[in-house]
Structure 1
Amino acid sequence: MSLHAGAGATELPPDTRGPHSRRLGLITVIATFGGLLFGYDTGVINGALEPLTRDLSLTSFTEGFVVSILIFGAAAGAFIGGALSDRYGRRHNILLLAIVFMIGTIGCVLAPNWEILSVFRFVLGLAVGGASATVPVYLAEISPAERRGALVTRNEVMIISGQFAAFVVNAIIYNLWGHVDAIWRVMLLIAVLPAIALFIGMLRMPESPRWLVAQGRTDDALAVLGQVRSPERAEAEMADVHRLAAEEQKSRTGGATDLSVRWIRKLILIGALLGIFQQFSGINSVMYYGTQLLGQAGFSADSAIIANTLNGLFSLLGITVGILIINRINRRTMLLAGFALTTTMHLLVGLSAYLLPDGQMKAYFILVFVVLFVFCMQGTLGPLTWLILSEIFPLKIRSMAIGISVLALWLANALVALAFPPVVESMGIASTFFIFVVLGLAALVFVYTMVPETRGRSLEELEGDFRQRYS
């Protein structure tokens, strides 16, 4: 559903610089506030959980429930958001999501107990999931082919930046007013600011030209392209968009009946397992509970929330490195290296917790290995999983297959978020990370035996290979 020059397309004029480039840059910044909110709202609970637990008397189970309910909401939001986006438009959906972000945030801030908090965390999850399904599509459809990868990837960077911002804001607020039980409400309330900026900003942003063409609104689509392309490029691209729309309409035959085809079932299984194993790496146990984890490792509450900002910083550094190398290394090689590195870091965290005596040395060893785990994960498995999911599925089943795979990923994310606090409480840090080691070894076997190489191959070549390999 993106704007590009493909096989059979006329050669497009180059994407020259001009006022339209600045307009496209502004659209990208405004739209990726959705990614920033995604990151902030998933990361803010990390530092807010300690005063929140005191204020609302949470147990380890209710801690996990309050955190994970947002992820269950995100799974539903991704499905609903994608459908609404197709029906009413990308811009319309992002405006709606900004309102849901505001309602969810204010509801959480005013919640008198953990039950009401959970309800509004679920509402917030709907917005997070909707943003994950809508913002990248909007960016892809409004970007020129030459810059699409770079512009769409900015949303992932903004997600990580949002988490890092949440960690830093939490550390500052907690060290100033951490003795106030209700301070977690202020931490959550800050998310209203980018939600307001997203809503106001999107009021002046255009609709996706690709969606407008699908609705038969050709003149409107050309007007939008005229804002973000040179005049000659806009005219040429419109012809390409019409051709692609016709091709996609012919190809859009994928549905439940395709699940009877063996090679298609095999590909969907690979996609779903890839999403599950990415989450079973435990990345979000650190991004959601890093402060609590470091506190149990031996840091004081004030020190733990400051040390946790390193997880946000190295997450941002990791994805920066990942973006730089992702097109230079074969996908399978990078996946295998990623799971090998993250599994090694899990083992080192577990051994540190098991063998070292309680004290500052143990705390710092665990911190170093957790930070290295985050860096390795975000530099490999984080961006690579999404890239492979966009490459392995043929056009006619792509929407259905990615939907199933992303649903599996979100549910695995929620399971880790729900289970992590009671598992650590009952088994300790060492045993918990040894479980991640076992899951990491299983992931290595899965990648080695099942995941195909997709780098440097056309979608048509991949489909032919999959038919032959899995039929």
Structure 2
Amino acid sequence: MSDDVKGVVEEYASSEEGKDKVPNLNANVSARIKNPLLGIPEEQLMADVEQFAREKDMEDILPLLKHGAIAAQNPLDFETQKGLTGEERDVLRYEITHKWKQPRSLYFTIILCSIGAAVQGWDQTGSNGANLSFPEEFGIGTNSTKDTFLVGLVNAAPYIASSFLGCWISDPLNNWLGRRGCIFFSAVFCVLAPIGGAFTQTWEELFVTRLLLGIGMGSKASTVPIFSAENSPAMIRGSLVMCWQMWTAFGIFLGFCANLAVMNTGRISWRLQIGSAFIPAVPLLIGIYMCPESPRWYMKKNRYRNAYNSLLRLRNHPLQAARDLYYIHAQLQVEAEFIGKSTYISRFFELFTIPRVRRATLASFTVMIAQQMCGINIIAFYSSTVFKEGGASEKGALLASWGFGLVNFLFAFPALRTIDTFGRRSLLLFTFPQMAWTLLAAGFCFLIPRESKAHLGLVALFVFLFGAFYSPGEGPVPFTYSAEVFPLSHREVGMAWAVATCLFWAAVLSITFPRMLTVMTPTGAFGFYAGLNIVALVMIFFWVPETKQRTLEELDYIFAVPTSKHASYQLTTWLPYFIKRYIFLDKTAHLEPLYHFEGVAADESQLDLRETHFQEKS
């Protein structure tokens, strides 16, 4: 920890008042979300900024850094804060009233990286359609247990490679090459591996090319959401990072479109379906170095000038860049005091030993494994097979799968607004019960006689409804959530853990579901996953804190709250309030908040009031 912040923090923490007021980042029993600059006298703050500027060789922008520190010290009261000019107040006011007015470089970064996410979705649906023909091409098209396993193994190959290798190499790649370098590395694999898969002559060759694809998919999925989260302002971070999932859904839809487009090309149809997944990785490969590097990665490497230059491209005004630079720096110093430095191996074990990090590990594990427990990938991987089991022709199965892809993509759009207003946790708590009953209903519809026209129609209807509830909830939340919950010191290895969890269980699902269909029938398999939705709902209720509207560094305080305190609050305070307010419609019901904010940016309700106030004044 540098002397400029460390001295003040230690002096304050050692005082009687400080012992009660400074939250412990490993045991924040008071549930305070605290601005580390709050309460520092103006003279001391200015001296700290001067020392920071000298240490980081940034004295040429010292006046701007001082104004940025003033804005960061009390972001709620910039209207009356001394030391800011009228123009600077206008900039900070505009930031609240026009939160979607962001620089082109920020939107270019988000869009480009999100397009790369389409590789994940496109590959899922490419293999989905190819399942109808490649097994026969390679002589594994029988219904024997061995052949069913081999088909599942080929489909699971990218997820096996991702969970055991691709995700985990993202940490050293990020360390050596930066966020952009790691993404470029992954894009190379995502371009070449699908093309190679299209030319394979045996199932073993296809399996190997899909393993290589998994290396790219894993390192990309572990880095792109982090890159987007670190570049985005807190108020709209969820909406921007969730573009990853929206483009994954779009990739699923495009993959279904490609399946239909090449359906009548004969024996090469599956090759085109597998090979076409390289397309969305091309713009990512070409354009990634046109994006600004993550400011937080530069700060981790002590390259503060580069971090400031990146922030200038990612924020509308130099004051915002200076403010965010100093505020992030101050938070990182506090974080370093509780976490310290470590090696790659020790960082992995610290995911489970440092209390603040362990809680993030548990929460990210929960949202990631829930994505597989909810059953989305039994549709994404095997919808063509499922609809064919429901009595559809090959063309009908592909058309029904295309419809599911369209629903999955269109219903991702509502989350652009709700993920930062309704919140990550709230979206999950609302959508999981809906996914449970729609999946169960789809399973029971398989019991309708196949001769009935209602059989296939109702199966498709409830599968589409399932997709409509998944897309704005469990669809965008896991990758967005996991990218933001870990401290900077453990962000890469933490995200690798989260993505490896998701993709490992995706591989398990891919291998086991063909056999489940045979042994349990579609009704039993769908009912099994409907039950897992309820299990996931309970896990989320107790273990997943809300993260909306907080900066990445402020989340240290959220995850410093003991899990037992969070779980107890949900059971004894939030649940009774919910029942009174929304079941018995008692409008007088009052919810005592869990978190107490001290000098940090306002939550959504406060921002709405301030935005209305500023608009009325103007």
What TM-score do the two structures reach when normalised by structure 2?
Answer: 0.67
The answer (yes or no) to whether the contact 1:394–1:463 under 8 Å persists in 2 is: no
Q: Which of 59, 69, 73 is the equivalent residue of 2:161?
A: 73
State how far apart, in whole Å, the 2-side matches of 1:61 and 1:26 are: 42
**Given the superposition, is the C-alpha separation of residues 202 and 159 from structure 1 closer, same or farther in structure 2, using an over 3 Å criterion?**
same
Deviation, structure 1 residue 469: 6.0
State how far apart, in whole Å, the 2-side matches of 1:170 and 1:329 are: 36
1:355 aligns with 2:355: no
Deviation, structure 1 residue 257: 5.7
State how far apart, in whole Å, the 2-side matches of 1:112 and 1:146 are: 51
1:303 aligns with 2:396: yes
**Given the superposition, is the C-alpha separation of residues 247 and 128 from structure 1 closer, same or farther in structure 2, using an over 3 Å criterion?**
same
User: 1:228 matched to which residue of 2?
Assistant: 314
**Given the superposition, is the C-alpha separation of residues 248 and 109 from structure 1 closer, same or farther in structure 2, using an over 3 Å criterion?**
farther
**Given the superposition, is the C-alpha separation of residues 268 and 234 from structure 1 closer, same or farther in structure 2, using an over 3 Å criterion?**
closer
The answer (yes or no) to whether the contact 2:159–2:506 under 8 Å persists in 1 is: yes
User: 1:42 matched to which residue of 2?
Assistant: 124
Structure with the higher helix share, 1 or 2: 1
What is the count of residue pairs matched by the alignment?
463
The answer (yes or no) to whether the contact 2:122–2:255 under 8 Å persists in 1 is: yes
State how far apart, in whole Å, the 2-side matches of 1:203 and 1:394 are: 25
Counterpart amino acid of residue 93 in structure 1: C
Deviation, structure 1 residue 167: 0.9
1:344 aligns with 2:432: no
User: 2:271 matched to which residue of 1?
Assistant: 185
The answer (yes or no) to whether the contact 2:361–2:494 under 8 Å persists in 1 is: yes
Deviation, structure 1 residue 324: 3.1
User: 2:546 matched to which residue of 1?
Assistant: 454
Aligned runs of 1:283-294 on 2, under 5 Å?
Answer: 283-294=376-387
User: 1:200 matched to which residue of 2?
Assistant: 286
Deviation, structure 1 residue 312: 0.9
State how far apart, in whole Å, the 1-side matches of 2:534 and 2:232 are: 39
State how far apart, in whole Å, the 2-side matches of 1:331 and 1:25 are: 22
Write the deviation string for residues 245-293 of structure 1: whole angstroms up to 9, x where unpaired: 4344334346636745789767745543443233121101101111111
The answer (yes or no) to whether the contact 1:299–1:360 under 8 Å persists in 2 is: no
User: 1:55 matched to which residue of 2?
Assistant: 137
The answer (yes or no) to whether the contact 1:37–1:191 under 8 Å persists in 2 is: yes
Counterpart amino acid of residue 77 in structure 1: G
**Given the superposition, is the C-alpha separation of residues 407 and 197 from structure 1 closer, same or farther in structure 2, using an over 3 Å criterion?**
closer
**Given the superposition, is the C-alpha separation of residues 111 and 346 from structure 1 closer, same or farther in structure 2, using an over 3 Å criterion?**
same
Q: Which runs of 5+ in 1 are unaligned?
A: none
Deviation, structure 1 residue 309: 1.0
Aligned runs of 1:103-118 on 2, under 5 Å?
Answer: 103-118=192-207
Counterpart amino acid of residue 364 in structure 1: G
Q: Which of 246, 251, 265 is the equivalent residue of 2:333?
A: 246
Deviation, structure 1 residue 191: 2.8
Counterpart amino acid of residue 123 in structure 1: L
1:148 aligns with 2:208: no
1:213 aligns with 2:310: no
Of residues 193-202 and 329-338 in structure 1, the stretch that sits farther from structure 2 once superposed is: 329-338
The answer (yes or no) to whether the contact 2:198–2:272 under 8 Å persists in 1 is: yes
State how far apart, in whole Å, the 2-side matches of 1:444 and 1:467 are: 18
User: 1:86 matched to which residue of 2?
Assistant: 175
User: 1:120 matched to which residue of 2?
Assistant: 209
Rg comparison, structure with higher value: 2
Aligned runs of 1:261-340 on 2, under 5 Å?
Answer: 268-269=361-362, 271-329=364-422, 334-340=427-433
Deviation, structure 1 residue 27: 2.7
State how far apart, in whole Å, the 1-side matches of 2:469 and 2:188 are: 35
User: 2:249 matched to which residue of 1?
Assistant: 160
Write the deviation string for residues 293-342 of structure 1: whole angstroms up to 9, x where unpaired: 11111111011101111111111123222343334547665434322211
What TM-score do the two structures reach when normalised by structure 1?
Answer: 0.87
State how far apart, in whole Å, the 1-side matches of 2:231 and 2:485 are: 23
**Given the superposition, is the C-alpha separation of residues 359 and 118 from structure 1 closer, same or farther in structure 2, using an over 3 Å criterion?**
farther
Task: Give SS of 1:181's match.
Answer: helix
Counterpart amino acid of residue 48 in structure 1: A
**Given the superposition, is the C-alpha separation of residues 462 and 197 from structure 1 closer, same or farther in structure 2, using an over 3 Å criterion?**
closer
The answer (yes or no) to whether the contact 1:222–1:234 under 8 Å persists in 2 is: yes
The answer (yes or no) to whether the contact 1:38–1:131 under 8 Å persists in 2 is: no
**Given the superposition, is the C-alpha separation of residues 187 and 393 from structure 1 closer, same or farther in structure 2, using an over 3 Å criterion?**
closer
The answer (yes or no) to whether the contact 2:434–2:469 under 8 Å persists in 1 is: yes
Q: Which runs of 5+ in 2 are unaligned?
A: 1-33, 38-68, 73-90, 141-146, 341-346, 569-618
State how far apart, in whole Å, the 2-side matches of 1:67 and 1:162 are: 17
Write the deviation string for residues 4-41 of structure 1: whole angstroms up to 9, x where unpaired: x9653642654589998223322322222221222222
**Given the superposition, is the C-alpha separation of residues 270 and 321 from structure 1 closer, same or farther in structure 2, using an over 3 Å criterion?**
same
Aligned runs of 1:6-21 on 2, under 5 Å?
Answer: 7-8=36-37, 10-11=70-71, 14=92, 21=103
**Given the superposition, is the C-alpha separation of residues 336 and 148 from structure 1 closer, same or farther in structure 2, using an over 3 Å criterion?**
closer
Counterpart amino acid of residue 341 in structure 1: Q
State how far apart, in whole Å, the 1-side matches of 2:359 and 2:237 are: 29
Counterpart amino acid of residue 167 in structure 1: F
Counterpart amino acid of residue 26 in structure 1: F
State how far apart, in whole Å, the 2-side matches of 1:17 and 1:267 are: 28
The answer (yes or no) to whether the contact 1:71–1:411 under 8 Å persists in 2 is: yes
Write the deviation string for residues 409-462 of structure 1: whole angstroms up to 9, x where unpaired: 2222111111111221333211211222332343344445x3355367974255
State how far apart, in whole Å, the 1-side matches of 2:564 and 2:217 are: 35
**Given the superposition, is the C-alpha separation of residues 90 and 48 from structure 1 closer, same or farther in structure 2, using an over 3 Å criterion?**
same
1:432 aligns with 2:519: no
User: 2:4 matched to which residue of 1?
Assistant: none
The answer (yes or no) to whether the contact 2:184–2:288 under 8 Å persists in 1 is: yes
The answer (yes or no) to whether the contact 1:52–1:182 under 8 Å persists in 2 is: no
Counterpart amino acid of residue 220 in structure 1: N
Write the deviation string for residues 78-130 of structure 1: whole angstroms up to 9, x where unpaired: 22123311332011111111111122112211211111111111111111111
Task: Give SS of 1:379's match.
Answer: coil
Write the deviation string for residues 39-96 of structure 1: whole angstroms up to 9, x where unpaired: 2223321122212223223332211111111111222312212331133201111111
Give the fraction of aligned pairs with identical amino acids, expressed as a percent.
Answer: 25
**Given the superposition, is the C-alpha separation of residues 19 and 200 from structure 1 closer, same or farther in structure 2, using an over 3 Å criterion?**
farther
Write the deviation string for residues 158-213 of structure 1: whole angstroms up to 9, x where unpaired: 11111111111211221x42xx1122222233233332222121243332232223
User: 1:416 matched to which residue of 2?
Assistant: 509
RMSD (CA atoms) = 3.3
The answer (yes or no) to whether the contact 1:79–1:130 under 8 Å persists in 2 is: yes
User: 1:463 matched to which residue of 2?
Assistant: 560
**Given the superposition, is the C-alpha separation of residues 465 and 387 from structure 1 closer, same or farther in structure 2, using an over 3 Å criterion?**
farther
Write the deviation string for residues 218-247 of structure 1: whole angstroms up to 9, x where unpaired: 333333333333344334433334334434
State how far apart, in whole Å, the 2-side matches of 1:147 and 1:335 are: 19
1:129 aligns with 2:218: yes
Of residues 261-270 and 408-417 in structure 1, the stretch that sits farther from structure 2 once superposed is: 261-270
User: 2:475 matched to which residue of 1?
Assistant: 382
The answer (yes or no) to whether the contact 1:274–1:385 under 8 Å persists in 2 is: yes
Task: Give SS of 2:302's match.
Answer: coil
The answer (yes or no) to whether the contact 1:350–1:430 under 8 Å persists in 2 is: yes
